[in-house]
Structure 1
Amino acid sequence: MLATLIELLRSTPAVALHALAQWRYGATGLMALVLLLVGIWRRNATCSAVAAIVLAALVTRPAL
């Protein structure tokens, strides 16, 4: 029971970040966020770099 509660608390920020990315940046932002997380978990620099570039482009799009 305690392990389930701990897992729920650990996943709450990820779910909140997922909802924010989907609401603010759409499907592209969500896919870039997932790609970034996979790159970090797998320690794949290429994956992380591509995702970071896509997220940066989405965030700065209104400024361009």
Structure 2
Amino acid sequence: MKMFNSLQVNIPLAEALEMPIYGKFLKELLTKKRKPLDDDTVDMTEECSALIQRKLPQKKKNP
């Protein structure tokens, strides 16, 4: 617990402001609310690429 109290995360302000934008964009793409255009390009890090490649589990119906 002491380790978590002293944990510090240092990221540039510009990156901190961009994170919610990327998250919303990826969520819209994954939930198919937004369709990528043919001429759209998005630069992604390894972490983003790994999240997208993971297959989402199928939704189960209520019994």
Fold shared, TM-score > 0.5 on shorter chain: no
- Between structure 1 and structure 2, the one with the greater Rg is 2
Q: Which structure is higher in RCO with an 8 Å CA cutoff and minimum separation 6?
A: 1
TM-score by length of 1: 0.31
Q: Normalized per residue, which structure has more helix?
A: 1
TM-score by length of 2: 0.31
